[in-house]
Chain A
């Protein structure tokens, strides 16, 4: 019955196209669904289904087809099984009814074996898995590129195009190597080609241009996070970018670059310039999930350096390549111990501003387990997986050797510059405190002459107090959705322009005192936080006092009918992010006194007043609010009178005492710094006579001095008194705590550091597993079949517009042997044997005839056009569109306004910015809009840029400030006295590197008659396809 039905299907369906054809109807299905487990790679149950002959051989248990038998064989039984544990294929949907019917029919007619059918090729034979060998060169051309390309052209009866026009060629070279167009003199350079190539390769702009290419492949991304919290990548990652630029300019070997990126902390543990290279691994940092972090590391390390899609083996064996599930976790185990930390750098010691994000084996004992189906919650804890490459590629792998690290690697704070820098910093704090005290004393002396009344500390009756431990809806009306309770504060977590606020439901009295504690943790520009009072029901009228991080001030202002008016009552002073401040207002009638952290700032007469509500204010800021107190202002409290100059503050005796305490504290901290450096040097370097005891004593003394400063802070004073008592006892009895190392390295800049990476007592681990060194050595081994090929292919792509191997990040079995396989291999060998010399490879390609051909089809040999319209044989050059960065850099450069400063922290993209685009901040949420329009690199992964042609690009070139301002600037470079024709010729030459044809000239002259404004003409020229393209 079933069989009849199947035949019916067969005759009506597939048979319409002829009888069931195994090769057409069955083999492709088996290939797609079954070969992964029953082919050349693996033969589960001893069964191969990759050829009819193999099918007829059956499995380990015998025949599976049951030819000529009444009962269906095992093959069909398993395909049709209703039991999901039995049914094949085990993953995905079952085979379709028509597919099964075809198989059944093929069996019914005796499973005929097609002649000449080949089984699946052995993956060991895959072209990309063979050690590359030099090609046997025909020897007809000096350059091996030409030799191989020409001979293939000749074989196919094709003829190549002549070289491009000299100026076009020079432009091509400059854009290719420097990413900047040549100027008029350079366009007229008549020196030998090789000389020009060498000169450009020696230019520092070469490193900048090619760094951007490698930043694509190695997925450079600046950090991303909320506020100061790093969620993705790392701060200071620009040091890795600068390392790429300088490594290229120095022509460091590509092998050495790989070694430094993967393992500089092991092979050059004290060389910070090399360690910057580990930014490659630091970039994969992901706050929320270690597996995601390592998945990215595994996937992109293998794609970038080997063109292997290791990621396909995360959940199961690779479907195509000889990488099994276990291999994935063996590869992960190489990285399992690595963590990221931020170390001190010379100069500024603040890690947020000047640290280096680098990797190290922070957790050498971390164990890797296989995750069943890639599910991290299903780790198979029975088997600890050791580090290694995929078994198939094991050749050249040497077991990791543990690396003992020098002191300065595991105690970065003990680097000489760190110790000296720290002492200098503490010394500077002492001088600053001295100056401060001196200044106050002088002001006080001058002020005493003028005589001001003393003020008493009296606290009035409370109106309301809120410590923001929970929402008090009776007290507050909340506006905005971005309020959160976190870390003991009520926080506004997204900056808004005063659109989110808390407004009290209770009015404050006419005369009152208000204290507000808060800290600002983020925001875009102003980062202002503070308090409104006298807020009326509409919210349209109030006074407000706020601190501004961006403005560096405390300021008083009024809002009248919804409009803000700023007063001259402003105290200029730095306001820091992430520092808690207490703002205090005392208001009596129209007089207001404002103090910050107990320091009187200014007094002012408010123009008019109506007691109202209070309202927390956050303008363009992320703010944590800790506490607010509103009290009546007792009559005995004396307020400072408003002076003509409200910002001239009044110095109290207390202020002088405070400054004195601060000076003592600074001195104590300096002494402690000195002592702990001495103690460290004695302990770890056996140098000097410092001791842990002295350092402990100095640390106690510094804490004591700090507590004495805290006495002046009303909030802290009670605690401080207790601390002082305890510390004095400790000092007396000689109870010194173990001293802490200098705070010059952190495992993370976030609030909740990664516990796996915390330093142990006495520093970071004193050795590294050596796994990443082993990985780097294996990758750069002469016999590694992939590393050099993949790199050469990337470089070729960026010179020729198309790669030799189309799938630049997948050289596995799905990548067919490329047409120019011999050339790729030859170049790979040359590359390795030259010491992985990239400049040498560039030179080889750029001096070839092949690279210098015209990119036009004009007057092409007919057969070349007809037989190879896709130019797979390189009978002409390919035109390419300039990458996003080259478009913008060229525009600025042509106008003479490109800032050629190299290196340093990433700059915020803006139309007015003049630095090269390479230095633009480039992260998930912070990217240049202009560059994005032109297929800028995807920050997650970009092995190859797109070259789209979309209307948004036309809009950007017509309307963006980058384009319009550049057009104006470029136009200004031309002599205004040039005749129209001279101008057109000069503009064509400068912008397009060629002369206009007569027809073009006529078109331009007629335009200039209608449109005499030359900047408009220039604007048109930079919009031309010939400008956008590298011809």
Chain B
């Protein structure tokens, strides 16, 4: 069947956009007076093609990861009021928080200074000081831009949603950065979804919201036998039978076009079946590590119990990137709040969790680099907020939203730099403070997207939703 270009298709029929093919193929037949879908092309020349988004759920302590604060050791056990930095508690400096759970035991001001629970040191030419819990990431510091001046406005874990969407948990749900990228850009693959999530989610399990479910992340599990919902026949339907059925389905759909000529849905449906069939093979193939060398598996830590789970996810991320997935979102840390939420036992907790992620994360950077993929892949390492410089209980830290750290590397990002800073106690982002959407803006910029052009009528975005490009870290 041949499509006639003057035929229109409702904008609501977001054809196969999970694979992106529809946005490209059918844009030409969109009604002129209806707001057109993006054409899938970048708005300007991009520096990066894809994103691997690593998100540590629960809140990683910035002081014990990427923003060491020796003053904490100096004043350990003292109250903040007894230090020269008393002014961090000035009401004027406290950014306004919107508190979703009043009276929660967590999310309080903690004033008794808790020393750093690990040492720190430097590596590489850049000489950036990082904690001893991340020795492998430290070894990649020259490829990474650290942002030490993030802030957010929710001091509870709804901030996980906020980091992805830019909106506070009390606001209406809006699309996340992954959904926007999926919506704005065309597909890099005929066989794979463009937006994939691996790992646990809790506060919001959807991404696209008003963009429509076609732009939600497709959830994958690291299980080549059952990686994706409905990827395998529920009962013992044989592949050969399925192939026969697929042929019949597509032939009959094609014949129905005689009854319903110039119906674009028919072709969309036929394509979706072919793609679905290919996805059934392509997704398990992408997650099948048998072709990977022993050296690579070791690099990602697949040979060690502690690093295996995250290592597999990151190796999968690399394989999915190679195969044309646009946005790979990986969530680390089980539980409702997220594993990094060490209100007590921070030393044990963070030491263990950082062991789980450190080696695989560095492996991902190295592996992408040696395969030439790092230059057009943005790797983000983020968390919803930091943790309090003061202690909670005997040995924990509480949620801290006034200053925390994330980092970015790869496609178009300058390596070996630090942008922004917190004060001596790690309390406030004092230099180049960045709201969470600045990370989104930077990604959009590198991917060649002008987010203003993607706005959907009836869903006005606010200035804060767009954020500002962090120019200082752009190569």
Contacts and interface: CB of A to CB of B under 8 A. Distances in A.
Contact of B230 (A292, A960, A1010): A960
B96 to A, nearest CB: 7
Interface in B383-418: 393
Q: Which of A485, A952, A963, A964: most chain B CB closer than 10 A?
A: A952
A997 B258 contact: yes
B266 interface: yes
A1023 B272 CA distance: 11
B253 A1025 contact: yes
A5 interface: no
A408 interface: no
Contacts of A958: 230, 233, 242, 245-246, 273, 276
A1028 B272 CA distance: 13
A4 interface: no
Interface stretch (B75-83, B107-115, B307-315, B331-339): B331-339
B18 A952 contact: yes
A482 interface: yes
User: For chain B, what secondary structure do more than half of its interface residues adopt (helix, strand, loop), or is it mixed?
Assistant: loop
A292 to B, nearest CB: 5
A725 to B, nearest CB: 37
Contact of A1025 (B256, B262, B279, B280): B256
Interface string A997-1029: 101100110010011010011011101111011
B463 A92 contact: yes
Interface in A940-979: 940, 944, 946-956, 958-961, 963-965
Given A312-B460, A940-B173, A949-B13, A955 B231 contact: yes
Contact of B255 (A478, A963, A997): A997
B339 A481 contact: yes
Contacts of B237: 959, 964, 1016, 1019
Given A950-B18, A953-B272, A1024-B249, A961 B234 contact: yes
A990 to B, nearest CB: 15
Contacts of B173: 940
A398 B244 CA distance: 68
A932 B244 CA distance: 27
Nearest to B238: A1016
Contact of A925 (B13, B170, B205, B268): B205
Contacts of B345: 473, 478
B218 interface: yes
Contact of A949 (B34, B234, B269): B269
Interface residues of A, number: 86
B172 A940 contact: yes
Contacts of A940: 172-173, 209
A806 to B, nearest CB: 7
B349 interface: yes
Nearest to B9: A870
A613 B14 CA distance: 59
Given A92-B463, A955-B276, A958-B276, A1025 B7 contact: no
A946 B214 contact: yes
Nearest to A309: B458
A949 B209 CA distance: 17
Nearest to B251: A1003
Nearest to B336: A494
A93 interface: yes
A120 B332 CA distance: 53
Nearest to A954: B276
Interface stretch (A269-277, A601-609, A831-839, A854-862): A854-862
B101 interface: yes
A925 B205 CA distance: 8
B301 to A, nearest CB: 21
A988 to B, nearest CB: 10
A1005 to B, nearest CB: 11
B85 interface: no
Contacts of B279: 951, 955
Interface string A347-389: 0000000000000000000000000000001000000000000
Interface of B: 4, 6-8, 10, 12-19, 22, 31, 34, 58, 96, 100-102, 105, 170, 172-173, 193, 205-206, 209, 212-214, 218, 228-235, 237, 241-242, 244-249, 251-253, 255-256, 258-263, 265-266, 268-270, 272-273, 275-277, 279-280, 333-339, 341, 344-345, 349, 393, 457-458, 460, 463
The 9 closest A-B pairs by CB, nearest first: A954-B276, A951-B276, A955-B230, A870-B8, A961-B234, A1025-B269, A949-B268, A959-B230, A951-B275
Given A288-B101, A494-B335, A1003-B255, 12 more contacts: A289-B100, A471-B344, A858-B261, A869-B4, A946-B14, A948-B214, A952-B230, A961-B235, A1000-B252, A1007-B247, A1025-B253, A1026-B252
13 contacts: A289-B100, A481-B338, A807-B458, A856-B260, A858-B258, A858-B260, A925-B205, A940-B173, A948-B15, A951-B18, A952-B18, A958-B246, A1019-B245
